[in-house]
């Protein structure tokens, strides 16, 4: 069984790779390469896979998941400029793919026993999202 919790955070970022010239960055990332940054209302869906506990009937107390998501993701990410304030994005381009992977890496240690971290879905906008399953 898969259970999902959704949280939101708002953050700014700029996408440009130090390996590329300013012109190349504009060609690759388009408007997202604006060095002053821009922001999104990110929506994050985190899914866990497991079986309901025979006593509680729950895969995991969603309150617990909410606390982990707040501590590991919302607190560090929300209302921040990712490139300047949230490592590793001082050296990793904060594309949706890289943000999804960073979130996966932050959450993974919390799910070594019990329900398994199944997937992370990150909406940058309602029209663009990335799924990452750690593979």
Positions that interact with another protein (CB under 8 A):
15, 17, 19-20, 28-30, 92-98, 100-101, 126-133, 135
Smallest gap from residue 132 Cβ to another protein (A): 6
* Comparison of 94 and 115: residue with beta carbon closer to another protein: 94
DSSP string, 105-131: HHHGGGGSSSSEEEEEEEEEETTEEEE
Q: State the CB neighbour count (10 A cutoff) for residue 116.
A: 15
> Least distance from C-beta 69 to another protein, angstroms?
20
CA 93/CA 113 separation, integer angstroms: 31
Judged by CB, which is closer to another protein: 9, or 132?
A: 132
């Amino acid at each position: 069984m898969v259970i999902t919790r959704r949280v939101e955070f708002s953050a700014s970022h700029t996408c440009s790779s130090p390996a590329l010239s300013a012109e190349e960055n504009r060609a690759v990332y388009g408007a997202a390469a604006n060095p002053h940054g821009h922001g999104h209302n990110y929506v994050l869906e985190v899914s866990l896979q497991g079986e309901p506990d025979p006593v509680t009937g729950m895969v995991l107390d969603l309150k617990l998941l909410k606390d982990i998501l707040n501590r590991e993701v919302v607190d560090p990410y929300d209302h921040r400029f990712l490139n300047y304030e949230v490592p590793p994005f001082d050296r990793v381009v904060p594309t949706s793919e890289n943000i999804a992977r960073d979130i996966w890496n932050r959450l993974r240690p919390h799910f070594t026993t019990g329900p398994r971290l199944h997937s992370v879905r990150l909406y940058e906008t309602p029209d663009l999202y990335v799924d990452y399953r750690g593979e």
